[in-house]
Homo-oligomer: A and B are copies of this chain.
Amino acid sequence: MAKAKPSMKSRDAETTKMAILDAAELEFGKRGLLGARTENIAEGANVTRAMIHYYYDSKEKLYQAVLERALASRIKIAEEMDVYAGTPTNLLEQYIRKLLSDMSRRPNLPLIMLFEGVQNEGRLYRQIAVNSSYGPLRKILERGVQEGIFREMDVTQVAVNIMGMCVFYVVARFNLQHLFERDVLTPELFNAHTEEAVTMMLAGVLKHQPSGNQDCSV
């Protein structure tokens, strides 16, 4: 009964640790490991820079903590997918929607993973990250091809292209806002993106015939 309202404390280790981690996610997502400034992280978390070292020891270890949390969330999505429950078409649509909604909620994670690859040449971003991201997608696609619902394809390449459509919109959001002339993460715009993405991806994998020559359409 001691700790009735732990969130009311002005000094709570867990709260500040989280505040630092969140602020770090933002800063590392914006500037990467090298470009990030600990002062910006501290400011964003409303603590002094010393707290970063108090809780996370060093800038790099804080970065690793951020990376791990990002990865964990991606792995969680992968694990939640049952790639055998449903038709490949439905599964694919479901997975894309889940992925996109997760990205809109935490739009910095894809950026951090991208940075990690580019700046550290993926030293910390290894097989596990790749597998959790592309594993379910590839399995769904493979099943679809086997069952004759999806066209013949290079499954890995198609998985990358699908992921690309999802990720690009989020990581390029600051550039894209010049194109749309407003914030692209507003529900309105993001829903439009989701629908177009789903449409394109399904069209891209399903067997189909162009309606150009209408020999048999009547």
Instruction: Choose among B122, B127, B157, B168 the residue that contacts A196 (Cβ–Cβ < 8 A).
Output: B157
Q: In whole Å, how far is A214's beta carbon from the nearest beta carbon of chain B?
A: 10
Size category, A interface:
35 or more
Q: What copy number does this chain have within its complex?
A: 2
Whether, in the assembled complex, A32 has its beta carbon less than 8 Å from a beta carbon of chain B, the answer is yes
Contact with B along A141-182 (1 / 0, CB 8 A): 000000001000110111011011101110111111111100
Cβ–Cβ contact A30 & B119, under 8 A: yes
A7 within 8 A of B: no
Residues of B close to A204: CB separation below 8 A:
199-201, 203-204
Nearest residue, chain B, Cβ from A135: B179
B154 touches A163 (CB 8 A): no
Contact A161 B165, beta carbon cutoff 8 Å: yes
Q: Does A68 contact B (CB under 8 A)?
A: no
Q: Is A114 an interface residue (CB 8 A)?
A: yes
Q: How far is the CA of A116 from the CA of B116 in the complex (A)?
A: 17
Look across to chain B and name the residue whose beta carbon is closest to the beta carbon of A149.
B212
For A158, the chain B residues whose CB sits under 8 A away are 196, 200
**A122 and B179 in contact, given A192-B154, A197-B161, A204-B199 (Cβ under 8 angstroms):** no
Interface residue from B29, B33, B167, B215 paired with A172 (Cβ < 8 Å): B167
List B contacts of A175 (CB < 8 A). 113-114, 116-117, 122, 125, 129-130
Name the residue on B nearest A179 (C-beta): B130
Bound form: Cα–Cα A58–B8 in Å: 49
- The residues of B that contact A149 with a CB separation of less than 8 Å are 212
CA distance A176 to B130 in the complex (A): 8
When the two chains form the complex, which single residue of B37, B111, B165, B211 contacts A118, counting CB atoms closer than 8 Å?
A: B111
Residues of A participating in the B interface, judged by any CB pair closer than 8 Å: 29-35, 37, 111, 113-114, 116-119, 121-122, 125-127, 129-130, 134, 149, 153-154, 156-158, 160-161, 163-165, 167-169, 171-180, 192-193, 196-197, 199-201, 203-212, 215-217
Beyond A122-B178, A160-B172, 4 additional contacts (C-beta under 8 Å) are A30-B118, A34-B35, A161-B168, A200-B205
